[in-house]
Chains A and B, each alone.
Chain A
Amino acid sequence: MNERYSRQALFVPIGVEGQSKIRQKHVLVIGAGALGTGSAESLVRAGIGKLTIVDRDYVEWSNLQRQQLYCEEDAEKRIPKAVAAKNRLNALNSDVIVKSLVSDVSVDELERLVCGVDLIVDATDNFDTRMLINDSAQKFKIPWIYGACVGSYGISFTVIPGVTPCLNCLLETVPMGGMTCDTAGIISPAVQTVVAHQMTEALKILVDDYASLRNKIVSFDLWKNEHSSINVAKLKNDCCLSCGKNPTYPHLSYSNRTKTAVLCGRDSVQIRPSMKHDRDFEELEKNLLAQGGKIERNPYLLSFTIGTHRLVVFKDGRALIHGTKDIAEAKTLYHRYFG
């Protein structure tokens, strides 16, 4: 056994046999923000065979407080996160094949990315992408681990196709709006705790120790000293369109996808969420107030100007992002401020 992994192999539930299983596995990490950098570092140090990491964004100064793979130079040069992550991961462990992709993740990318993957780690910052992951994971029978955090709060759940309920069973409706790390802030221990939950479950899956999985949805608030876990096995729904007896994988179908379009000659991108929602402008304004931008609203729309961008959201959730022609950038801004 390689000295490098000796302490991990000494841990009885993993052992030498588990370590060689880890070595043969391919994990896909979707998102290279706070959760993604934490998970990727943990997996690469643990000696997995191959890691694929994908992200559409670039490194900014506001990331450095918690996104552990990045340094000042990455922010200075606005290096794409997937590229900066790969550089650092290669330096941490040259044994691991690290594949990185600078890209938005929609249905087509996901179908290609999940091919041959043993586990998907959710490190995204929005439910649109999570529902895509959920349905792809069901379609291709790949386990995936939901994780999310905001402020000092975090949550995680492990989805095993054919065994546990899926995210669609648990949610019933896709949460819309609410606080994001860019409106409510985030402390790095909350990130680390979610990563710890996700990575412990990941190790169990990678060594095929399914009997040790938590089987509960877990949440915590580190600042309020709260911890909760609920056994959700009963919520597995045989009629669920994502994981039930007759699945149609609704989130992979064109009509349910978030649609984007560059508006010609207007330096704007339109974002149309998959489902119509009734946006609560009062709540949204409250969340945006701390951002220092300018907020204007009427009964039909809310406009938020920050820096060189103006974001306009309508009651039904449709948004126009002015000041960019780049769909990936527009989506980033949309999810950052509108959740």
Chain B
Amino acid sequence: MELIINGEKIRIPEDESTVAELLQHFNLHHKVVIVELNDEILAKENQSETRLSNGDKVEIVHFVGGG
């Protein structure tokens, strides 16, 4: 399916259909992240049950420590 991730159209495999799986796909599952799905912030505890559908707009910010 096609998602709009951080403003870019990105095609991802159909089997990665929850937000948690998407984070795993981008290797962000070990990181502290804030996820916004279609302009609404998604609570961390809902990441594994929230399913994505074609055309969804996802914004992902992950925290880093360097400086």
Contacts and interface: CB of A to CB of B under 8 A. Distances in A.
Given A234-B41, A235-B41, A148 B65 contact: yes
B65 A178 contact: yes
Interface stretch (A15-23, A29-37, A41-49, A132-140): A29-37
Contact of B59 (A31, A36, A228): A228
Contacts of B30: 178, 280, 283
Contacts of A149: 64, 66-67
A230 B65 contact: no
Contacts of A229: 59, 61
Nearest to B6: A228
B6 A175 contact: no
A308 B43 CA distance: 45
B9 interface: no
A179 B34 contact: no
A155 B63 contact: yes
Interface string B7-28: 1100000000000000000000
A150 B65 CA distance: 8
Given A173-B32, A227-B6, A230-B59, A123 B41 contact: no
Interface string B49-67: 0000000000111111111
Contacts of A180: 65-66
Contacts of A150: 64-66
A33 B67 CA distance: 7
Specify the main secondary structure of chain A where it touches its partner: mixed
A295 interface: no
Interface in A203-228: 217-219, 225-228
Contacts of A219: 61-62
A86 to B, nearest CB: 19
A217 B62 CA distance: 10
B65 A172 contact: no
A153 B63 CA distance: 10
B36 interface: yes
A232 interface: yes
Contacts of B36: 230-231
Contacts of B67: 31, 33-36, 122-125, 147-149, 181, 194
Greatest chain A CB density within 10 A among B6, B34, B61, B67 is at: B67
A175 B65 contact: yes
B66 A125 contact: yes
A182 to B, nearest CB: 8
A176 B32 CA distance: 9
A270 to B, nearest CB: 21
Contacts of B41: 230-232, 234-235
B7 A178 contact: no
Nearest to B7: A227
A179 B64 CA distance: 8
Greatest chain A CB density within 10 A among B44, B65, B66 is at: B66
Contacts of B59: 228-230
B7 A175 contact: no
Interface of A: 31, 33-36, 122-127, 130, 147-150, 153-155, 170-173, 175, 178-181, 184, 186, 194, 217-219, 225-232, 234-235, 280, 283, 335, 339
17 contacts: A122-B67, A124-B67, A125-B67, A148-B64, A149-B64, A170-B34, A173-B32, A181-B66, A184-B66, A186-B66, A218-B61, A228-B7, A228-B60, A229-B59, A230-B34, A232-B34, A232-B41
Given A149-B67, A228-B59, A230-B34, 4 more contacts: A122-B67, A155-B61, A170-B34, A175-B65
A-B pairs, 4 with minimum CB distance? A150-B66, A228-B6, A181-B66, A35-B67
